[in-house]
Amino acid sequence: MTARAAELRDQGADVITLSAGEPDFNTPSAVCEAGIRAIRDGRTKYTPVSGIKQLREAIRKSFERDHGLDYGIDQITVACGAKQVVFNALFASLDAGDEVVIPTPCWVSYPDMVALAGGKPVLVACDESRGFKLRPEALEAAVTSRTKWLMLNSPCNPTGAVYSRSELLAIAAVLRRHAHVYVLSDDIYEKLTYNADFATIAAIEPDLYHRTLTVNGVSKADAMTGWRVGYGAGPLSLIKAMNLIQSQTSSHTSSISQYAAIEALAGGRKHIEQFASAFLRRRDLVVARLNQADGLSCRMPDGAFYAFPSCAGVIGKRTPNGTIIETDTDFAMYLLDHFAVAVVPGSGFMASPYIRISYASSLEDLSRACDRIIAACAVLT
């Protein structure tokens, strides 16, 4: 999709890209200045594998301040984005054939990273009728003696689903019966919630604190995707093993980025309220407009910056040039090739027939894109 969108742009097409998983805001100026200051101060050498002490201390304080989580500085590791934190954890912990329970729809990289580490992804479908969220009974049915991890992502990419405190406690009740299962809690979108209060499982269930890796970063909430700073906190033995993996791969994330991230975490993060307010307005516009499109149905997401409409109503329909839309990928390509709107097929997130739309774009672009999507659906027969 990305390659095709770039090709169309090269041909002069006015492509509106709603496929990017990153905020469209610039990194806050104070954070940028901290990075510039680090360069000028010569902070350009190798750092400890786990990250500079000042950053890990800022992370430790943020966990304590935001969630009451008490981690020692050696229980915290910094990597090249939350993605590498997840990757390191899986590589450090999985033996061949170990199972990882992954509620779907899920982020596209989860199953592949499990497979790369020699594990077996166990995909558990979570219906839209239940808010795209994992039910305790479904988790119970999925756990076996080989289960090593449960992966939880809240707010969720791609659905925007947010687990409530009571829903997490119900999941925790199942996990208490299976002491061999660890939890990977991917909280990267935690600051971007709208109609729901955020909760993280290690904070609300003390029994799971010692077998939970809590993953986060500055990419989404602080508009720092390109800086590549993610972090994780969890059991000391796991963190040490993750650091060993990282020492043989990337060594550490950019020293300059680490100093900038200190400013992001310790500088008050006043920009987050502005970001979240803008995303809320965009979300309301996009969901309302998508529900006007013939054949689409869009649930209101509670977090992140994605809408995940069902396109079941367009499957089987015919385009003006006679092509039958058989899958969500067909529909996404139709939107791109004929209406110059780039979205992501739901099949990439292990859920069909859906499409993912990022509303991390201007209101003007979102409005124009929705006009095109509505027009695209209107001419299907």
245 and 231, same structural domain? yes
63 and 8, same structural domain? no
Residue 212 sits at φ, ψ, to 5 deg, of: -125, 135
335 and 288, same structural domain? yes
CA distance 310 to 296: 6
- Looking at this protein, which amino acid is placed at residue 83? K
Q: How confident is the model at residue 20, as a pLDDT?
A: 86
Contact 142/171 with Cβ under 8 angstroms?
Answer: no
335 and 202, same structural domain? no
Last residue of a domain, one of 221, 237, 266: 266
Q: What is the CATH number of the domain that holds 207?
A: 3.40.640.10
161 and 53, same structural domain? yes
pLDDT, tens digit (0-9, with 9 covering 90-100), for 245-280: 999 999 999 999 999 999 999 988 999 999 999 999
The helix-helix angle for 82-93 and 236-247 (nearest 10°) equals 100
Q: How confident is the model at residue 381, as a pLDDT?
A: 97
Please give the model's pTM, rounded to 2 decimal places: 0.95
Q: How confident is the model at residue 6, as a pLDDT?
A: 85
User: Region 168-174: what's the mean pLDDT?
Assistant: 98
62 and 185, same structural domain? yes
Last residue of a domain, one of 199, 231, 266: 266
Q: How confident is the model at residue 3, as a pLDDT?
A: 80
Q: What is the CATH number of the domain that holds 313?
A: 3.90.1150.10
User: Region 147-152: what's the mean pLDDT?
Assistant: 98
User: Region 330-335: what's the mean pLDDT?
Assistant: 97
Residue in 131, 272, 78, 132 with CA at minimum distance from that of residue 190: 272
Instruction: Give the sign of the dihedral formed by CA 275, CA 280, CA 285, CA 288.
Output: positive
Pull the structure tokens for residue 227. 């800086």
Classify 88 as helix, strand or coil: helix
120 and 144, same structural domain? yes
Residue 164 covered by a domain: yes
229 pLDDT band, cuts 50/70/90, is very high
Last residue of a domain, one of 211, 233, 266: 266
Given a cut of 80, is residue 172 above it in pLDDT? yes
Residue 381 covered by a domain: no
pLDDT, tens digit (0-9, with 9 covering 90-100), for 206-220: 999 999 999 999 999
340 pLDDT band, cuts 50/70/90, is very high
Q: How confident is the model at residue 267, as a pLDDT?
A: 85
User: Region 238-249: what's the mean pLDDT?
Assistant: 98
User: Region 161-168: what's the mean pLDDT?
Assistant: 98
Taking CA atoms, 312 is separated from 128, 254, 379, in Å, by 13, 44, 16
Q: How confident is the model at residue 315, as a pLDDT?
A: 98
pLDDT, tens digit (0-9, with 9 covering 90-100), for 5-28: 888 989 999 999 999 889 999 999
Residue in 227, 234, 223 with CA at minimum distance from that of residue 201: 234
Residue 182 covered by a domain: yes
Domain count across the chain: 2
Count other Cβ atoms within 10 Å, centred on residue 337: 14
List the domain range (segments joined by +) for residue 208.
Answer: 43-266
Out of 27-41, 267-281, 288-302, pick the least confident: 267-281
61 and 172, same structural domain? yes
Helix segments in the chain, DSSP class H: 2-10, 29-40, 53-67, 82-93, 109-116, 136-142, 165-175, 201-204, 206-209, 236-247, 255-266, 271-290, 328-339, 363-378
Average pLDDT, the chain: 97
Residue 312 covered by a domain: yes
306 and 260, same structural domain? no
Residue 306 sits at φ, ψ, to 5 deg, of: -130, 145
Q: How confident is the model at residue 252, as a pLDDT?
A: 97
Q: Could you tell me what percent of the chain has a pLDDT over 70?
A: 100
User: Region 183-202: what's the mean pLDDT?
Assistant: 96
